[in-house]
Amino acid sequence: MEAHIHKSPGLRNDLLVVIPRAEIEDVLFHIANRDRLRQLPGLQRHVARDPQHSDELASCKMPVEEHLRRLSVGGHTLLDCEGKPKRRMIAIGCRNVGNNHGFVAWQKDQDPKLFHVWGEPLNYPYYSCLTKHQTGFSVRALRFQGESVLEGGTDISEEVTWCVYANWVLRNGKVVSVEDIIEQFFDIHHVLAYVRELDVGRRIEAEIFEGYPERFRENALRALREKGVPRNRFLHGCLGLSEDNIYVLQREGTIEEMAHWLREAGARDGLILENGGSPACWAWWPYPKGGFLFTAPDYRPNATAVIAFVLKGPVNTDLPTGSVSFSVV
């Protein structure tokens, strides 16, 4: 495994972690307070926000460590009673889940299996999903029918453990233009640059969401192509996949830049999982109980959903004291 961290305040602040698939024992997914989140509308961007809903949404979220406490492999927990890692693992957020329209998830061991926020249009022709299945871990174009998962016209529910939608920005080695998928960014501020706190920004956003969801794509493209709303460069949390490796990329850029950097790192497919103050990467080895390799400058500690990569091999975090930083495998 490799971890590349750049921290130059005001210039560059990003992370790339490369995890060989051969090192991965399991990939786990957890949604905080799932039943409560299903009853809430997420972050209301297309209508005026209800402060009560926003407060309830915030109360559902939990720190990454609490997510990890609730996960296990083969009946064995990931953290001990003191919160120390019992397994080698890397954890990242998947925080558009529970917050934004489009970000649905399906979990075989939950009831109901399909997760989405209240009021979700469920209007995508298919969902590009990070998918944990019997033969591995991949990006697949899926549909949901009742409690079933479909790929094309085939019911694949039996082979899927869990899957979660994310923005497919690198597809089969090709960088996807944001114009092709702009309607999949419910928080359009991640694509277009305007200031919500100013009158002009509020007008831009109101025009984009007029007639939502039917006219959302049309309005967003009009803002981009005809009204001259500039592109935004945002901090994004991404996951890339190749035949041999998994790539965690957390960096500031446009949608296309993120896809380009994932491809440059070696990924064949790439997804955006979260944005803004959400991206962070937690690892098992920082002393004494694991900790963050990277966080957004304005990091939001509590998360709606987390993905954990559990790696093979024993863990040892009881390091000897001294002035030298010891390496642990």
Q: What is the pLDDT of residue 11?
A: 84
Q: What is the pLDDT of residue 117?
A: 98
Q: What is the pLDDT of residue 8?
A: 87
Rg of the chain over all Cα atoms, to the nearest angstrom: 20
d(CA 44, CA 19): 36
d(CA 54, CA 93): 19
| CB 310 within 8 Å of CB 1 | no
Walking along the chain (329 residues) 10 residues at a time, the average pLDDT comes out as 90 95 98 98 93 96 98 95 95 98 98 97 97 95 97 97 98 98 97 94 97 98 96 97 98 97 98 97 92 95 98 77 53
Q: What is the pLDDT of residue 322?
A: 58
Q: Which two tokens stand for residue 114?
A: 């399909």
Q: What is the pLDDT of residue 26?
A: 97
Taking CA atoms, 285 is separated from 20, 38, 290, 303, 317, in Å, by 17, 34, 5, 21, 6
Q: Which two tokens stand for residue 5?
A: 């961290």
41 upstream amide cis, omega within 30 of 0: no
Q: Which two tokens stand for residue 326?
A: 């010891």
Q: What is the pLDDT of residue 317?
A: 57
- For residues 151-175, one letter each, b for 16 or more C-beta atoms within 10 angstroms of the residue's C-beta and e for the rest, the string is beeeebbeebbbbbbbbbbbbeeeb
- The pTM for the full model equals 0.95
Residues 6+ apart with CB under 8 A from 9: none
Residue 210 DSSP class: T
d(CA 77, CA 88): 12
Q: What is the pLDDT of residue 288?
A: 85
Q: What is the pLDDT of residue 329?
A: 46
| CB 293 within 8 Å of CB 13 | no
Q: What is the pLDDT of residue 135?
A: 87
Q: What is the pLDDT of residue 327?
A: 53
- Other C-beta atoms closer than 10 Å to the C-beta of 149 total 26
Q: Which two tokens stand for residue 298?
A: 């304005």
